Amino acid sequence: MCGIAGALGIDPNLARGAVQRMRDSLRHRGPDDEGIEEVRGPAGFAPAVLAHTRLSIVDLSEAGHQPKHDVPLDPASPPNVVTFNGEIYNYRELRPALERGGWPCRSTSDTEVLLHGYRLWGERAVERFEGMFAFCLLDTARGLAWFCRDRIGIKPLYLFRPRTGGLLFASEVRALLAAGPELVPRRLRPAAVESFLAQGAVMSDASALEGVELLGPGQSLVCDFDGEPLRSVRYWSVDFGGADGEIALPADGSVPAFSAGPPSREAARWRSEVVAELSSGLRRSLSRLLLADVPVGLFLSSGVDSAAVAAVASEVSAAQLRTIAVGFDAAAWDETEAAGLSARELGTRHQRVELSGAEVLASFDDVLAAVDQPTVDGFNTFHISRAARRAGLTVALSGLGGDELFGGYRSFVDVPRALRFRRATGLFGGAGRDVLASLCDRAARHPASKARARALAKLGATLRRPADLVELYLLRRELFNVTERRALQPLPAASDAFSGLETNVLSTLTADRGKRDPLDRIATFEFSVYMRHMLLRDADVFSMRHGIELRVPLLEHYAVAEAARASSRFRRADPRPKPLLVDAAGPRLPSRSWQAKKRGFTFPWRAWLEGPLRERAEAGLAGDGLRNAGLDPAAGRSIWSAFAAGDARVSELEVIALLVLTDYVERNRLTA
C-alpha cells in the first residue's frame, strides 16, 4: 500500500520538480521508502517521471523498492517500469504460470508479478489479478503508459491534463495540487460543491477540482508517452439482480419469480448455492488477506459485518487472530463491550482502545488537514486508524461493504415505503400535496423532539419530490435541502435541481428505471454512489494518513458478484438481518452480532458544537472560506445562527460540512 504519482508529456525541467513535490505530499501514504525516476521512451517523446512512496507490507527487502523495473529476456530491450499502489492477493498463485511462460520471479513481491504478467498476457493480465490496486506501467519499447484500477474502486488514481499538454496522475487530489499552479489551477468546481452540500461528499468520478478526474473502477486506460489516450476499457462491472458474466444464473439462464409466500424448491436451491459460493469466497478471501510480512489485525465492532469477517478469519487463520475495538468515553456511543464478548467467543487476541471526547476535539483540525476531498464522513476512520497504528498494526481488516451487499441499511426499507407513500399522495394532486407539505414544514418548526423535526422536514420534502425511486433514495441521504442550497449558491449548470447530483451521474442511476427489482436498484445506489464515492474514498484517505493498509474482505470481486446476482428476496431480513452473510459466515458467528440493534460509531457533534467547538465553528464560518467556495457568507452564517438558536431542522452535520468545506478551500488556497 503506497502513494504513486507521475508525469507524461511535460517538459522535463518542469516535470522533475512537480513530481518531486507530488511525491513529498504523499509521504504519509508510504513512510518506509520512496523513489523517483525519469524513464525514457521512444525518440521524440519527453521522458516520463514516476514517483512512489512505500508502505512495506509484502517483501520488506530492497526488492520491493519502486518505481520497479523488470529484466527483459532480450538484454538489448529496454525494461518496463511500474509505480504500483495496492495488493495483488493472488500473486503467489500466478507465479507458476509466469515461470512456465518464461518469466521466473526473483523476489516475493506482487509488483514483480504485475510486471511479468504484463509481459506474458499484455493488458489482459489485469483480468487475472485479484485484489485492490492502482498503477501506471510504462511499456518503454512501445511508448505506452498503462493505467489501471481495481474492479471495485478501492484504490484511487486521479488524472489531470494541464492546459499546455501532457498528463499528471497521483493517488490523491492534494498531490496534484502540489505539482504547482502553473500545471494545476486551484479552481473548485461549483457542481462538486453542490454535490457535497446535497449528499455530504462529491458523488462523482469528477473531483472537487476543475479538470481532476478519478479513473473509474475496473477501468484500464492506455496512453502514449505524451499522455494522449489511445484506448479505454471497462474490464469488469457488477449488476445487482443479474449475472455479471463471471458467475452463471440457474442452468436455463432464467431468474426465478417469487411470490410473497414461502420460497419455492427452486428458490431454496438457488439460495443454497449462493450461500455456498459466498461461504467459499469469504474463506478464500480471508486466507489471502491475513497474509503479510507486518502485523495484521481486524477492526471489530458490535455489528454483524466485522463479526462475520472475524468468525471466518479465526477459522482459516493458523495463528491467533488479533482484533481491536475502539471505544468512546460516552456509553451511548461505545460498542466495545459487545465487541469484547464476540472476541472472547471467537478466541481472538483482543485489545480495547479508548478514545476520549477531549482527544477527538483536540484532533479536529488534524482531521480537517487530512481531508483530500470534502466529506462529512471519515472522522471515525481517522481516529480508529490512528489507534490501530499506535497499537502496532500496519494492516487492518474491515467489514466495509456488508450493508451495501446484504441489505443492512434502513434505506432498503424506508425508500420503498417512501415511494409507496408518494405514489399514494398522487391522488391529492399537486396543490393538495403542496398543502400537506406546508403543514409538515409548519409542524417541523415546533416539534416534540429534534428527531421529529427532521422527520417532518423529510416528509414535507418527500411530498415535493417526483415519485421516483432514485430521487427518494437521494432525499433520504440529503444533507442540505434544496432551499438551503439555493440560498448558499445558484444552481450550477451541470447539476440536477432536486437531487444536487450532476446530471450525467443521475442519468446513470435512472437508466434502469422499471427494469429491476427496487431493492436491487437501491443496492446499486448504495454500492455505486454512497460506498464508492464516500465510504471507500474516506477509508483510503484517512487510513493511509496513519500508514494503515485497510483491507476489505467483503469486497473481493468474486464475493461481490455472488452477492449481487442473488435475488433481492435473499437480502431481506428473515427476521435475521443480512441473512445471506449470517449463513455464509457459518456457525462460528456469535449470535449477539446479529441479534443486537444496529449501531454506528458516531460522535456527539451537536453537543460539541453547542459547547467546546462553538468558538471554532464561529471562527471558521466568519472567514473567507465560504466566499472562496462560491457560497453566500450570509446564508452560511444564517444556517449557523439557526443551529445555535436550537432550530432542530438544522442538522449538526450541516455545520460540520460548512466547516470542512471552508477549511478545505482555505487550506488548499482554492477559488470558485
In a domain, 252, yes or no: no
Which of 557, 575, 595 is the C-terminal boundary of a domain?
A: 595
Residue matched to cell numbers 486466507: 287
Residue 553 sits in the same domain as residue 610? no
The whole domain housing 394 covers 265-361+375-406+541-595
Residue 117 sits in the same domain as residue 219? yes
Task: Look at residues 385, 380, 388 and name the one whose alpha carbon lies nearest to residue 352.
Answer: 388
- Which pLDDT does position 448 carry in this prediction? 66
Q: Are 236 and 175 in contact (CB under 8 A)?
A: no
In a domain, 148, yes or no: yes
Q: SS3 for 1?
A: coil
Residue 77 sits in the same domain as residue 161? yes
In a domain, 672, yes or no: no
In a domain, 247, yes or no: no
Residue 140 sits in the same domain as residue 184? yes
- Which pLDDT does position 162 carry in this prediction? 97
DSSP 37-103: EEE--STTSPPEEEEEEE---S--SGGG-SSEE---SSTTSPPPEEEEEEEETTHHHHHHHHHHTT-
In the chain, the amino acid numbered 540 is D
In a domain, 469, yes or no: yes
Which helix or strand (DSSP H or E) is residue 192 part of? helix 190-199
Cell of 55: 508502505
Which of 487, 520, 553 is the C-terminal boundary of a domain?
A: 520
- Which pLDDT does position 426 carry in this prediction? 79
Q: Are 341 and 590 in contact (CB under 8 A)?
A: yes
Which of 467, 487, 520 is the C-terminal boundary of a domain?
A: 520
Q: Are 556 and 574 in contact (CB under 8 A)?
A: no
Which helix or strand (DSSP H or E) is residue 354 part of? strand 349-355
In a domain, 258, yes or no: no
Residue 273 sits in the same domain as residue 197? no
427, burial (CB in 10 Å: exposed 0-12, middle 13-18, buried 19+): exposed
- Which pLDDT does position 611 carry in this prediction? 92
Q: Are 616 and 605 in contact (CB under 8 A)?
A: no
Residue 88 sits in the same domain as residue 171? yes
Instruction: Quote the radius of gyration of the chain (alpha carbons, Å).
Output: 25
In a domain, 187, yes or no: yes
In a domain, 528, yes or no: no
Q: Are 41 and 225 in contact (CB under 8 A)?
A: yes
d(CA 26, CA 3): 6
Q: SS3 for 235?
A: coil
Residue 397 sits in the same domain as residue 429? no
d(CA 223, CA 336): 49
Helices (H), 546-591: 557-565, 568-571, 579-585
Residue 187 sits in the same domain as residue 84? yes
Residues near 185 by beta carbon (within 8 Å), at least 6 away in sequence: 210, 211
Q: What is the CATH number of the domain that holds 121?
A: 3.60.20.10
Residue 314 sits in the same domain as residue 291? yes
Residue 381 sits in the same domain as residue 453? no
In the chain, the amino acid numbered 546 is H
Instruction: Please tell me the total count of domains within the chain.
Output: 4
Residue 157 sits in the same domain as residue 286? no
Question: What are the tens digits of pLDDT across the range 358-412?
Answer: 888 999 999 999 999 999 999 999 999 999 999 999 999 999 999 999 999 999 9
- How far, rounded to the nearest angstrom, does the alpha carbon of residue 205 sit from its chain's CA centroid? 11
Task: Look at residues 145, 162, 154 and name the one whose alpha carbon lies nearest to residue 220.
Answer: 145
- Which pLDDT does position 601 carry in this prediction? 67
Q: What is the CATH number of the domain that holds 337?
A: 3.40.50.620
Residue 59 sits in the same domain as residue 204? yes
> Which regions in the chain score pLDDT beneath 50?
243-261
